[in-house]
Structure 1
Amino acid sequence: MDRTSQRLLKEDRVHGDVMFPLAAYWIELPAGTPVLDTHWHEEAEFFMLLEGEILFQVDTDYFPLKAGEAVFIESGDIHAAYVSNDSPCKFCALVFHPDLLASAQYDTIQQTSILPLQEKRQSFPRHIRPGIPWQKELLIHLERMMEVYANKMSGFEVFIKGSLLIMLSLIAAEGRSVNHSQSDGADTTKINRLKKIILYIQDNYREPIRTRDLSELVPMSEGQFCRFFKAMTRKTPVDYINSYRIRQAADLLQQSERKISDIALEVGFDNASYFIKVFRKAMKCSPSEFRKGLGQAAGPGQLHP
């Protein structure tokens, strides 16, 4: 990841707090509901699929993910998940800042395990599967951490940090860790172009956004840009913009009693009827049903944890 692009495509949510920068999320989605829109965050993430089957994307890599498998997402990696069959989907995401594991002083653990993880030189495999014995151990630790986090038992923070350190010890054996510190130049160019586009969308979603405006940022012809954007996100620019606006609207619906028509205007829709139509398609319920908690969709969390 190009560190000069820190805000690009960046998720706004705070995971945990300064004292313990870690949070876990459980999301359950009915069949056919979108899973995760393209996004990134400074924190690392373990994404564990509990039910269903999906197609997962990390940067420019795509791979099928089955129930009982997990993905490790590096700090700054673009990631998304897509429906791959007509079945419900349930997953848990454990999101943490790598600094959580840092030693108070520079010691052997910091030198041999933490720093290489922070620099992506010695990291977890991207796709973690139970068919490989030592990876199955990683999955068992993940399940225990999520259970402890959910119950918030006394000392759960110590248990989780200790478990993450144990997981680092499991990848210390030769041939287990992965080096993600270097990436293909062409892929880096694509990723940075996408970040530039989505930063613009995030900063301007309240105003009209034309495809031509987005294509000129890269720069590309309008047709070339649309093909590029869909190849990277599996959405058209209009669909992605609408999806981002719906996420903002969902937050406002949960946080205030403002009129639905006012919220539609606030997030960039100039027509309330069209807003309701797009919202219903994305969230499987109307805005008023969502506000009352009557919808089946997972709310704003469905767009990303």
Structure 2
Amino acid sequence: MKRVQTASLDISRHLQSRRLEQEVENRTAYTIDTAELNIYETQHVAEKVELTFASPVLASMIRGKKIMHLPGTPSFDFLPGESVIVPGQETMCIDFPEAQSQNPTQCLALAIAPDKVRQVTDLLNDRTPLIDNAQGWQFGQHNFFLTNDEPIHQLISRLIYIFTENNQAKEVFANLVLQELVVRLMQTQARTLLLSPETTFVNVNRLAHVAQYINRHLNRSLQIKELADEACMSEPNFYRTFKHTFGMTPVEYINQQRISLASKLLRTTSRGLADISIECGFNNLTYFMKLFRRETGISPAQYRKQGFPA
């Protein structure tokens, strides 16, 4: 389980050229044929500020805090390193509880043209259709909240750079990054939906069933053939389908879940590292410690010492 990405998005070039004409949701827009990047800045406390886009929009926090109110969704704090996908024509109602001129709240909203979204979803539905899902790949049909992982964070940063630079090939660069961003966001949404503990898909979706199977058997060796058999698929087809749907290989998912379990045991028990390593399916303590550091950025001992909340 990777640590939450809190690195700030780089908008330094935008800040050098933007003009502040209002103190609540001051907007600067950068536009290409297939998308519009809006950067908003608010410099004093405000409530119930409404914002609506005609196209599906990816909103990402840059600095400060918002409280978001979306239809059909409980209100939630919106913080740097987090994003939300909002369907077109859906009104966001926003509170700014901490904004001030010395510490403005900053957020970006990337509105993507429906034709561009359709191009990407049609391509995926044709080449890598979702298994056991008649609706297929979709983007922007429902609200979806996510914590940015490193690839999504980097893609958003790259788009900010492309939109704010003066380059004649801007449209070409931006469209390539947009396509990857939409695919990764859809993979994140599919992964979140199918792998949720509360999911109702476990009885109707083979990948959701396999994910649950993996989580029940993390303490022992798991082979791709065994997982493919559980999915009633050939090994190559299972491997390819899993990776295309979730954006990670089965082995990467297994390791991610093992580190997540290890993190929980470090937080909630006093068991030794060797014991936890075996419980999580690692027969080699050195490998466990190396993988834990790679996934979380710190050693298991440091993780336990810092007392991360359960």
TM-score bracket, normalised by the shorter chain, equals 0.3 to 0.5
- Pair member with larger Rg: 2
TM-score, with structure 2 as normaliser? 0.42
